[in-house]
Structure 1
Amino acid sequence: MLTFILRRIVSGVVLVFVISTVAYFLLYLGGGDIARRILGQSATPETVAEKTHALGLDRPLIVQYGDWLAHALRGDFGASWFTGEPVATAITSRLAVTLSIVIGATLISAVVAVVLGVLAATRRGWIDRVVQVISILGFAVPGFLIALGLVLIFAINLGWFAPTGYVPIETSFSGWIGTVTLPIVALSIGGIAAIAQQVRGSVIDALRQDYVRTLRSRGLSSGRVIYKHVLRNAGGPALAVLAVQFAGLLGGAVIVEQIFAIPGIGQVSVSATSQGDIPLVMGLVLATAALVVIINLLIDLLQGFLNPKVRLS
């Protein structure tokens, strides 16, 4: 088990390194005249040249990358070129907001999808058809349209939730619930569609196995067979889809946070990317990649627990 964990950690570190390296060079290839963006169009060429030198942008690209990497390995990600705010502070102050939405959407997607998938696989009939329709709609309708529809119906027309804004949980729990419910639901729909389909297919395949017939012949109830044995064997593929969905939810949070005016990493990602704020963008890339790697590691551990054969793969 320890070897299995070490392999996953090493592969995760390598993945983060590759992603950060590719992102750094791509940012500079499309960065344009960053110093002029910072100073404005009215700045003189001399002032722009001084700013370029102060930022170290006149050095060879590989030297700039080596300097950034050396500082990043020490935990120093620099400061925003436009606001002067330390990158670590800019990210950590907003990351908790985004994670509260993404983790909430992931949990709801997992729970609802498992229930719907199991019902569709075991009951079939009209329940299966309803789940199929829900899955198709979840795939077909863009997330931003779902978010706008939720705002129109439940915030503007019914007035049940705040249409925009964010209340920290330490300020007011009820206020926090009121501001994160609609974003979480908007993010959950697509995840429910994907995971429910996977759970349905995996459960149907598992129910056809010989061990299920053996368990039933021994007098075990259908509920015990399904929830103790079938789901354990069908959980691996669903967990893999859940890991993919988590990464997708991080990307979807960028749009959802813009619609609901939530001060998470989505807003800062859009502004930093449009400005060419490379230190801040690189910090966001590292934070996002590290989160995805950690979630995938946890999913791998769960899969190894459910299926020992995974540890040998």
Structure 2
Amino acid sequence: MVGTLIRKFVRYCAVSLCVTFIVFALMYGNGEAIAHSVLGVKATPEAIATKVSELGLDRPLFVQYGEWLTNALHGDLGRSFYTGQKVNEALMQRVPVTFSIVIPSLLLAAVISVLLGVLASVRGGVADRVVQTLSVLGNAIPSFIVAIALVFFFAIWMKILPPTGYVSPAVSISQWAATITLPVLTLLVGGVASAAQQFRTAMLDTLGQDYVRTLRARGLSEANVIFRHVLRNAAAPGMTVVSLTVFNLLGGAVFIEQVFALPGYGQLGNVSAQTSDVPMVMGTVAVTVVVVVVVNFVADLLIAALNPKARKNQ
């Protein structure tokens, strides 16, 4: 078990290095373009050359990446090319905002998806068709359309929730809850739509196993069979879906924060990419990579804990 965890940790570290290097290479590939973006359209060639040297963009790519990686491992993600603000400070302000909508969305999506997957697989018939139809619609409708519909219904028509903006929980818990409700609901639609169908499939595959028929033949109640045995053995694909949902929610948060004017790190990364503020972009990428790696690692641990057969196969 320890050896498996070490191998997975090494694998995740390798993936993290590959992702950050690819993004770094794409962003830092043209030092003159970055310097020109920082200085503005009226910058002279001499000023651009000076800025390139000042930012260290004239050095070999691997040297620049090695320096960034070394500093990042020591907790220093650099400073903004535009404001001079430390990337760490900007992320400390922005990350809690994004997590305040992603974490509730993930927890609710996991619970609702499991319930819908169990309902569709066990009941079948109309319930199954309804769940599949809702899943298809949820995946087909773009998140910004869902956001606009929710704003129109809850903010404009019923006037019970604010359409945009963000209030820190340190200022008011109730106002904070009100400002994140619509973004969470928007993310929840897509998260549940993709995960419920996968849970349904995992449950149907497990229900078709011979041991399930044996348990029923022994007189165990249906609830005992479903929630104690079937659901536990369907945990492996289910947890995999949850880990993938985290990535989808983080990606969706970039657009949702734009729609609802939330000062999250997704919005920060989007604005920074448009202005070639590379240190800020790399900071948001580093946070995303760490979150995805940690979630996948925890999912592997939970799969092994819930399903001994999966632990032996790892």
Q: Smaller-chain TM-score range? A: over 0.9
Give the match for residue 124 of structure 2: 124
Q: CA deviation at 1:84?
A: 0.7
2:261 & 2:192 partners in 1: Cα distance?
24
Give the match for residue 299 of structure 1: 299
* 1:32-181 mapped onto 2 (5 Å cutoff): 33-181=33-181
2:206 & 2:30 partners in 1: Cα distance?
49
Q: Which amino acid aligns with 2:259?
A: I
1:152 & 1:24 partners in 2: Cα distance?
40
1:95 & 1:144 partners in 2: Cα distance?
21
Confirm or deny: 8 A CA contact 2:38 2:82 kept in the other structure.
yes
Q: CA deviation at 1:169?
A: 1.7
1:198 & 1:302 partners in 2: Cα distance?
18
Deviations 1:151-196 (A, max 9, x none): 1111111111110011112221111110111111111111111211
1:185 aligns to what SS in structure 2? Answer: helix
Q: CA deviation at 1:23?
A: 0.9
Q: CA deviation at 1:69?
A: 2.2
Unpaired segments of 5 or more residues in structure 1? Answer: none
2:165 aligns to what SS in structure 1? Answer: coil
Q: Which amino acid aligns with 1:139?
A: N
1:70 & 1:40 partners in 2: Cα distance?
30
Confirm or deny: 8 A CA contact 1:187 1:252 kept in the other structure.
yes
What TM-score does the superposition give when structure 1 sets the normalisation length? 0.96
Q: Which amino acid aligns with 1:84?
A: G
Q: Which amino acid aligns with 2:76?
A: D
Q: CA deviation at 1:14?
A: 1.2
Confirm or deny: 8 A CA contact 1:31 1:276 kept in the other structure.
no
Deviations 1:237-276 (A, max 9, x none): 1111111111011010000000000000121011110111
Q: Which amino acid aligns with 1:293?
A: V
Confirm or deny: 8 A CA contact 2:28 2:57 kept in the other structure.
no
Q: Which amino acid aligns with 1:74?
A: H
Q: Which amino acid aligns with 1:262?
A: L
Q: Which amino acid aligns with 1:68?
A: W
Q: CA deviation at 1:26?
A: 1.2
Give the match for residue 215 of structure 1: 215
Q: CA deviation at 1:92?
A: 1.9
2:6 & 2:215 partners in 1: Cα distance?
36
1:247 & 1:207 partners in 2: Cα distance?
29
2:290 & 2:101 partners in 1: Cα distance?
18
Q: CA deviation at 1:31?
A: 6.3
Give the match for residue 282 of structure 1: 282
Between 151-160 and 25-34, the greater mean CA deviation after superposition: 25-34
Q: Tell me: CA distance 1:83–1:201, structure 2 relative to 1, closer, same or farther (3 Å).
A: same
Give the match for residue 17 of structure 1: 17
Q: What is the aligned-residue identity percentage? A: 48
1:255 & 1:55 partners in 2: Cα distance?
30
Give the match for residue 2 of structure 1: 2
